[in-house]
Amino acid sequence: MVTFLPTTPGPLAEVPAFERSIGGAESNVACTLARAGHPTRWVSRVGADGFGDHLVAAVAAAGVDTAHVVRDPDRPTGVYFRTRGERATVSGERAAGEVAYYRAGSAASAMSPRTVGLAAADAGRVLHLTGITAALSGGCLDLLRTLTAPRPGRPTVAFDVNYRVGLWRSAADARVLLDLARGCDLVFAGEDEAEAAWGVTGGPAAVRAALPEPAALVVKQGALGATAFGRGGAVHVPAPHVDVVAHVGAGDAFAAGYLSATLRGLPVRDRLRHGHLLAAAALTVPGDLAEPPAREHADRLAALPDDAWARLRLAPGWTAQETAVP
């Protein structure tokens, strides 16, 4: 989607002007992975309009292959507006800001197994999907069911649950996300969204009990960190201290960091740390996307001893300079 960020604080009814940017869970991950040095392809649909032109150009400028993005002549590109502050919480309450989505009937909502090039989606080492797409239309849900089903030559399928309460009529409808997650190889799920969408309580172990099928499960725990479950058992890594500017895009950045480290064959602890570091990059800027730290910088921080990692504090601008550890 095209994103409009306010130029001044205040409720949407009073903000006089906005700056245009880009957003969207899957494109955020694609852009961040490309900026982190990985060949990345984004497969989607946007309108044959000026917003679509801007969106495709901006994603391509990040280094992403956009050759398989279809331009829809009959449906518009989705847009959203937000105030300064956080997006709506999983519980449906408003945090420090408002978000207004305009994507009903958008080009992306017309995705289905018939309108998306499945061969292009299957061509990479990892296919990353999110639950937001599943909520956009019946055709989008059919597409997600097709892509998460067992099939010859399927790549590693990563799935970020990304439960957004405003996109589902009820939590009962959102249980389809649990079915989709069970068909994937790697799943990202927030501890809070597992409770909101599926009624799962009791911490990361309870989420794993509800989702035993994926080979790897990462349970995000907000400021407490994240826990990864896999063949080697459970690994928990606390999040560094971050001076937060805005929370929007942080979950997508975490997924990109974890996937980047996975593609590089790093151990699980370092995958979680790279996830936290790229999330911190997003948390310290106002928009959806942030420039990730240089790989060498991130690797040095990810290799810190546990006591130094626990003291790490990241503030706006940290990705552009070396980070001192007290």
Query: Mind telling me the catalytic residues?
Result: 252
Q: Which amino acid is at 127?
A: L
Which of helix, strand or coil describes residue 130?
Answer: strand
Report d(CA 51, CA 47) in Å as an integer.
7
How many C-beta atoms surround the C-beta of residue 175 within 10 A? 13
CA 63 to chain centre: 18
CA triplet 84, 87, 237: central angle to 5 degrees? 110
Q: Which two tokens stand for residue 51?
A: 């917003």
Of 111, 128, 136, residue with least CA distance to 45? 111
Taking phi over 0 as left and psi of -120 to 50 as alpha, with beta for the rest, 63 belongs to left
Q: Which two tokens stand for residue 309?
A: 């990692």
Report d(CA 28, CA 116) in Å as an integer.
19
